[in-house]
Structure 1
Amino acid sequence: MQNNSNQKHVKNHWSLGLLESMNDPSSVYKETDKVVVIKDKYPKAKVHYLVLPRDNINSIYNLDKSHILLLEEFGKVFHDIQEEHSDLELKAGFHSIPSMQRMHMHIISKDMISACLKTKIHWNSFTTSFFLPYKDVLRSLKDNGHVEKISTEKHKTLMSTPLKCNQCEFVPKNMPDLKKHLLSH
């Protein structure tokens, strides 16, 4: 008889959690034949969704011209969600170096008000050019047939960019100062 207490329990790495969320009805916000929209488990704003393809595509850097219709579906979903949240300004885009496996597009409100927004890296990942706007990614795919990767140096520079409000010229001392300021918008 085998001793179960000695068996290793292999868990999926946290970076693989999007697939699990796609298959969890309580996480799914909406879906189409091509995409699933889930609620971000750690939202960085009042509205924060992730749009994922049903097809197993790991990254925007795996896209080619054959994926244009899929990306246009992402845009249709973004448009629908914009209409549902017409009281908020939303933007859609991709992190140039995502922390989670499986390609996903963020749909996030500009307010950036959230208890989960804790670090400068969280902030800079949505407020610098590290965040690749949906329309730019689609245009690059149509024009070039691929999306260009950013360099390691540019990534480091963007993540270390000094904090600055995304809605005015305010320069905070730190994240708590910025979060307090964001409530004034």
Structure 2
Amino acid sequence: MAGDSPPLEAQNTAPATVASESQTGKPGKRDAFAELLAPKPKQAKHTKDCPSTDPSHKRATGGPRDALGAYIANPGSYPPSIVVYHNDDFVAIHDLFPKSTLHLLLLPRDASKSRLHPFEALEDPVFLGKVKEETKKLRSLAAAELRRRYGKDSAQDKKRQEALNADPPPDELPPGRNWEQEVMCGIHAHPSMNHLHVHVISVDRFSDRLKHKKHYNSFSTPFFVPIDDFPLAQHDVRRHPTREGYLRRDYLCWRCGKDFGNRFSELKVHLEKEFESWRRL
């Protein structure tokens, strides 16, 4: 991931137990979120998240596509640079091939659901409710991390930063920028990995791991289905991503809408400029 954050401590707790400054509205002596999310040094690898265009929802077993199962089975064996937190029902990890400056995965641990295609698994209303609630918690943590990284340079966070630096700081901070709006949460219509996972990812699409059309379009077209859109209607066209050709579409900038056709190198230069503008909003 991009950034110059210091090393962080491991905490295997659910995110709801962490009282971040953005949640309480009051300044604290330490950044609790910074103890959960860490920049990644050398890490154990899992396979690249390159979306499949196989129209079948069947999940073949074995091989690299099953790599996420190791985190579900034994999350405590991984450092906090990989596993953000875990509880009885979920594991949150850093995507080892991030497609934005912040890219997390939420892995449900329910064995009866984890190997189903998300369209099938998320039809269960009870399970869907649990996934939505946990995604909301992880999104809040992701937003706090974006504020920690970029808040000092954001015009919308200027008054908040000034309040934080006041001596003494006020009892209640200005709300500042709504960083949760800068986080997308959803699934791929054809996941590349066998185990069910929800992407919790910053909107910037600025990463050296974003290398080709499938990488970009899997997060920039209806191939990416927001978790809040579930349950999907049976006639929803997003159930047929291959037929709709989402991954083959021309490159459109996620922010300004400029059409780059198939010119990926031009898009990448443009994305860097958009990132610098976006983080300073």
Q: TM-score range by the shorter chain?
A: 0.7 to 0.9
Aligned length: 168
**Residues 1:119 and 2:169 are matched in the alignment:** no
Computing the radius of gyration from Cα coordinates, the structure with the larger value is 2
- The amino acid that maps onto 1:95 is H
Separation in 2, partners of 1:36, 1:135: 20
- Preserved CA contact (<8 Å) 1:75 1:134: no
Counterpart of 2:252?
Answer: 164
Match of 1:69 in 2: 129
SS in 2 for 1:135: helix
Structure 1: runs of 5+ lacking an equivalent:
1-11
Aligned AA (1:162): D
2:243 is aligned with 1:154: yes
Q: Deviations over 1:140-181 (max 9, x none)?
A: 27xx7x8967125435x1011111110113222521111111
1:6 is aligned to none
Query: Deviation string for 1:93-124 (max 9, x for gaps)?
Result: 10011010111000111111111101101111
Contact 1:52 1:104 in 2 (8 A): yes
String of CA shifts for 1:15-67, please: whole Å, max 9, x gaps: 11112244341320122332111111111110001000121222322231231
- Mean Cα deviation higher: 58-67 or 39-48: 58-67
- TM-score, with structure 1 as normaliser: 0.81
Match of 2:267 in 1: 178
Structure 2 unaligned regions, length at least 5: 1-61, 151-178, 275-281
Q: 2:239 is matched by which residue type in structure 1?
A: I
SS of the equivalent of 1:83 reads helix
Pairing partner for 1:39 from 82, 88, 94: 94
Q: Is the 8 A contact 1:15 1:100 kept in 2?
A: yes
CA–CA distance in 2 between the matches of 1:77 and 1:147?
Answer: 30
Q: Percent identity?
A: 30
TM-score by length of 2: 0.55
Distance 2:107 2:93 in 1: 8
Matches within 5 A, 1:1-185: 12-22=62-72, 23=75, 24-26=77-79, 27-56=82-111, 57-58=114-115, 59-60=117-118, 61-63=120-122, 64-71=124-131, 72-86=133-147, 87=150, 89-137=182-230, 140=231, 150-151=239-240, 153-155=242-244, 157-172=245-260, 173-185=262-274
